[in-house]
């Protein structure tokens, strides 16, 4: 099956910390196992439809950056 490790929907805190750690561990495992392991890190895009929505997304993104999320 297809597994997903989502970071973009998490507020700073334990759940985001765990998702970031999981991402690092999966990437390390993929590097260690090479072609015997399939791992593809992907990103996403969130679009604001209103100025208020943009402000909320900017605040959310700032919190994620402060917690260690990289674009």
Q: Return the structure tokens found at 12.
A: 């700073």
**Whole-number pLDDT of residue 31:** 93
Query: Does the pLDDT at position 71 exceed 80?
Result: no
What ranges do the domains of the chain cover? Answer: 14-66
Query: Does the pLDDT at position 32 exceed 80?
Result: yes
9, 11, 12, 13 alpha-carbon torsion, rounded to 10°: -100
**Whole-number pLDDT of residue 1:** 56
Could you tell me if 7 and 69 are in contact, meaning their C-beta atoms sit under 8 angstroms apart? yes
Q: How confident is the model at residue 14 (pLDDT cuts 50, 70, 90)?
A: very high
Tens-digit pLDDT profile for residues 53-68:
999 999 999 999 999 9
Query: Does the pLDDT at position 27 exceed 80?
Result: yes
Instruction: Say how far apart CA 70 and CA 61 lie, in whole Å.
Output: 10
């Amino acid at each position: 099956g297809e597994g997903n490790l989502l970071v973009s929907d998490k507020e700073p805190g334990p759940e985001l910390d765990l998702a970031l750690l999981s991402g690092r561990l999966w990437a390390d495992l993929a590097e260690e196992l090479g072609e015997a392991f399939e791992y593809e890190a992907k990103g996403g895009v969130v679009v604001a439809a209103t100025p208020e929505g943009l402000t909320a997304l900017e605040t959310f993104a700032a919190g994620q950056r402060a917690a260690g999320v990289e674009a």
